[in-house]
Amino acid sequence: MGIAKKIGENFLWRGIYLVSVFVINLLMARILGAGESGRFFLLINNLALLIMVAGFCLESSLVFYGASHKISLNKLATIGLLWCIPVPIITIAFLWFGWQQQLSTPDTLFIAGYVFSFMLINIFTALFHAHQNFATASQVLTLVNIFFIVFFLQYVNYSPNSVSQEEHFTTSIQEKIKWGYYSTVFLQGIILFVVSRNKLKFKKWILPTTAEMQLLLRYSAQSFFSNIVFFLISRSGYWFVEYYCTDSSLGNYIQVSRLGQVFILPAVIIAASLFPQTVGDKINFQSRSFSILSRLLIGIYLSAILLSAFIGNTVISFLWGKEYSEMYSTWLFYIPGVLFLAISYLFSPIFAGKGKVIYNIFIGSITLMVVLVCSFLTIPAWGIHGAAISSSVGFMVMMILYFIIAKRKFGFSFLNKQPS
């Protein structure tokens, strides 16, 4: 299957899955309200950081060495599964020493199961991607999400007009919805693991050799630092807003950030497709197809951003409700960064696929410093508007640096006329 077909397959199934994630996020935002949803999604954000640290970005190594066929699937699956086993213990220790307000039964078990399951999802999705299978993992995750959405709507008897600033669901219902959210991820992880045994056809569990483990850990270390830096670039604003602003403003800003994640989906999906193709030397910065793809993506995002500026207020008011009145004005400051970030997403997987993750780390480190400085200067005075401005400025710096390095080191040009 050609590059275009692979991107199309990933775009279709990954897109459907992420749309289902967006629907769940939207429903939970309406049920929990701005303040409670802000606290809940901040917890999910912090757990995402924990997953990244505990996982050490091993999934990036699995894709790299699986796509290049340098390490067998049996060995990659074995180390991936073993890596997940101690994660629940790490999670409980994290809650005990760093976040004791979350340490209560059954919350602790649900959270530990959530982190473990998310690790399983990352590991086995990576193995599917390494073997150019972009459909199966997304299909499994989507089906479970649809089940949760149906359960959600039936359980709370939800309708868009049933939640207003004056009328909220009971705390008991809100807590059960949160547990349902954790349970959904748990089911996704277990089902995906079972399906992978059949679809990927790995026959037995084999540990990698010492030399192979060194390769995996070396590549994971580079990806880990790169992803940690990027995570802080895109999410550090949450902590600043939590400190300087109200819970309601935090809820509004997190929803703006999540709306940005929806807009960024095409770039994310294309980047995920480009990485294994780059490892296999099927695409690079000199490819005419990459040049065309870059220009096309910019045109699509410019159109989408302008449209969202015109109709965003109406759409946000209808979907999120009155409690999210700060979203639209914040979105206007945030959307330039969406364009810059989308373009940047095309460059980072090619650097990584060429074994030059160090460039991603360098660019990310500079960008992070810019975002932190801007956040210190703008958020105390301008609140979540300042957070949005900081993100946009940071992503602009990131894009410019990617352009400069890609041009100087790899001869990148938008006007490339060479054959693919």
Q: Are 237 and 394 in contact (CB under 8 A)?
A: no
The candidate with the shortest Cα–Cα distance to 270, out of 292, 297, 291, is: 297
277 pLDDT more than 70: no
Measured between alpha carbons, how far is 396 from 103 in angstroms, rounded to an integer?
Answer: 40
| Token digits of residue 298 | 């910019």
State the distance between the two ends of the chain, measured CA to CA, in whole angstroms. 15
Lowest mean pLDDT among 101-110, 114-123, 229-238, 353-362: 101-110
* pLDDT on residue 67: 81
Q: Are 117 and 110 in contact (CB under 8 A)?
A: no
Q: Residues 116, 231, 219, CA angle at the centre, nearest 5°?
A: 75
Render pLDDT for 84-112 as a digit per residue (tens, 0 to 9): 999 888 888 777 776 555 555 557 788 88
* pLDDT on residue 18: 85
Q: Are 51 and 118 in contact (CB under 8 A)?
A: yes
| Token digits of residue 67 | 């796509």
Backbone angles phi, psi at 177, to 5 degrees: -65, -40
Q: What share of the chain in percent tops pLDDT 90?
A: 40
Backbone angles phi, psi at 153, to 5 degrees: -65, -40
Lowest mean pLDDT among 137-141, 264-268, 271-275, 282-286: 282-286
* pLDDT on residue 180: 86
Residue pointed to by tokens 């078990």? 109
* pLDDT on residue 154: 78
Alpha-carbon Rg for the chain in angstroms: 21
Render pLDDT for 363-383 as a digit per residue (tens, 0 to 9): 999 999 999 999 999 999 999
Measured between alpha carbons, how far is 79 from 93 in angstroms, rounded to an integer?
Answer: 23
CA distances from 405 to 6, 163, 225, 410 (A): 27, 49, 19, 8
- Would you call 15 helix, strand, or coil by DSSP? helix
* pLDDT on residue 314: 93
* pLDDT on residue 163: 47
Cα dihedral 138/144/149/151 (nearest 10): 180
CB burial string 165-197: b at 16+ within 10 A, e below: eeebbeeeebeebbebbbbbbbbbbbbbbebbe
Q: What is the mean pLDDT of the chain?
A: 84
Greater confidence (1 vs 358) lies with 358
Measured between alpha carbons, how far is 88 from 119 in angstroms, rounded to an integer?
Answer: 10
Which residue type is seen at 378? T
Render pLDDT for 321-371 as a digit per residue (tens, 0 to 9): 888 999 999 999 999 999 999 888 888 777 776 667 788 889 999 999 999
288 pLDDT more than 70: no
How many Cα neighbours within 13 Å face the side chain of 141? 24
Render pLDDT for 164-196 as a digit per residue (tens, 0 to 9): 443 456 677 778 888 889 989 999 999 999 998
Asked whether the bond before 336 is cis by omega within 30 degrees of 0, the reply is no
Measured between alpha carbons, how far is 3 from 200 in angstroms, rounded to an integer?
Answer: 21
Q: Are 190 and 122 in contact (CB under 8 A)?
A: no
Q: Where are the domains of the chain?
A: 3-410
Query: Helices then strands (H, E): number in the chain?
Result: 14, 0
* pLDDT on residue 152: 80
Q: How many CB atoms lie within 10 A of CB 320?
A: 22
